[in-house]
Amino acid sequence: MIIKKQVYSADKKANPLIGILLFLISIILFLATAPIGFVFGLFHSIYKKGIIGIGEYLLKMAISIDQLGNVAMQHFLNVFWIKKSGYKFGNRDETISSALGRNNKLGTLTFLGKFIDNLLNLIDKDHSLNSIDYYIEPTPEVLDLLSWIHIIDLEVLILFDKNKGTFSLPGGGKIKGKPDATVLHWHIKEKLNIDLEIPNMEYLGIFEAQTASKKPVLIDRKTCYSANYTGIITPDPLNTEVVWLNYSDREKLSEVDKLIFDFLKESEYIH
C-alpha cells in the first residue's frame, strides 16, 4: 500500500475579512489554551516515556514553530536571505530550515542567508540540507514527477526523446488526489504500452535537483518506484526510443536523474 500525505488547499480565494477574523480568534484561543496544554503535555510525556518523551514532544513543538516562522517571516526571508531566482520561503507545510536547504543546493542564498546557514551548520552539521522535507505541499516552483525504475543486467531502462534529444527515466507528472501507483501505471501504459503490477510496486525514494525547465519551476522532484510488468515494451517509434544505460552514461541525464543513478550505484543496483 502506498500512503500519501494529504494537504489542505483552498478551492477559492479567501475573504480577507474572514482571514483577519480567524487569525484573531486563533490567537485568542492559543493564548487561552496553549499554556495549559503545554504543561499537561510535559507531564504526559514524562509519564509515558520519561526524559525521552520530553525530547520527542519538544522536537515536535520546535518543528511546528519553525513551520509557523516560515509563513510569518516569508516576506522578510525572501528579500534578505535569498536571491530573486531562489526557492521561496512561505510554504505552510515546510520549515525555514527546509527552504534554506533547498536554496543552499540551488546556490541562491544571499550573504546573510549563507551566514545563517553556516551558523546552523556549526550547531548541527549540514543542518539545512538534512532538513529538506520532500513531503511538502506542492508549489509552482517544484515540478512533482513520478518515475519507474527498471533494471536488467545492471543497466537502467531510459527513454530517449527523438524530438528533444534528451534522456530520461520513464514516468510523468503526479496528479493531485490520485495515488502514485495508479498515476505511474497510466504514464507507463501510455509511453511503453505495458501494465505495471501495482501490488508488487516498491518505493525507492524521492530525489530533488535543479531543473532545466522554464520558470517558475526551480526544482525537479522525482518519486521513484520499481515494479514488475506484463506485456511487451513498445514505445512510440516516431518519438521515443528505449535505451539501456549504466553508471558510465550518467552525464547524459538531467540533474535529478543523475542523483537517482548515484543512489542506484551506492545501493549496488548498477555499476
Same domain as 120, residue 62: yes
Same domain as 228, residue 179: yes
**Residue 146's pLDDT is what?**
97
Same domain as 95, residue 195: no
Residue 161 lies in a domain: yes
pLDDT at 4 over 70: no
Residue 24 lies in a domain: no
CA-wise closest residue to 134 among 124, 145, 147: 145
H or E stretch including 96? helix 96-106
- Our count of domains for the chain comes to 2
Judged on CB neighbours under 10 Å (0-12, 13-18, 19+), 122 is: exposed
**Residue 170's pLDDT is what?**
97
Residue 2 lies in a domain: no
Residue 64 in grid coordinates: 511546528
pLDDT at 9 over 70: no
Longest dimension (CA), the chain: 67
Residue 73 lies in a domain: yes
- pLDDT bracket for residue 238 (50, 70, 90): very high
Are 132 and 208 in contact by the 8 Å Cβ rule? The answer is: yes
| pLDDT tens, position by position, 79-118 | 999 999 899 999 988 999 999 999 999 999 999 999 999 9
Q: Average pLDDT in the 191-214 region? A: 92
- pLDDT bracket for residue 204 (50, 70, 90): very high
H or E stretch including 241? strand 240-245
- pLDDT bracket for residue 20 (50, 70, 90): confident
CA-wise closest residue to 3 among 164, 218, 223, 265: 223
Range of the domain at 247: 142-266
**Residue 75's pLDDT is what?**
96
Length of the chain: 271
Considering the entire predicted model, what is its pTM? 0.72
At which of 98, 130, 162 does a domain end? 130
Q: What is the CATH number of the domain that holds 232?
A: 3.90.79.10
Q: How far apart are CA 11 and CA 30, in angstroms?
A: 26
- pLDDT bracket for residue 226 (50, 70, 90): very high
**Residue 138's pLDDT is what?**
75
Residue 236 lies in a domain: yes
| pLDDT tens, position by position, 142-162 | 999 999 999 999 999 999 999
Residue 231 lies in a domain: yes
Same domain as 246, residue 146: yes
Are 101 and 86 in contact by the 8 Å Cβ rule? The answer is: no
At which of 130, 151, 183 does a domain end? 130
**Residue 5's pLDDT is what?**
37
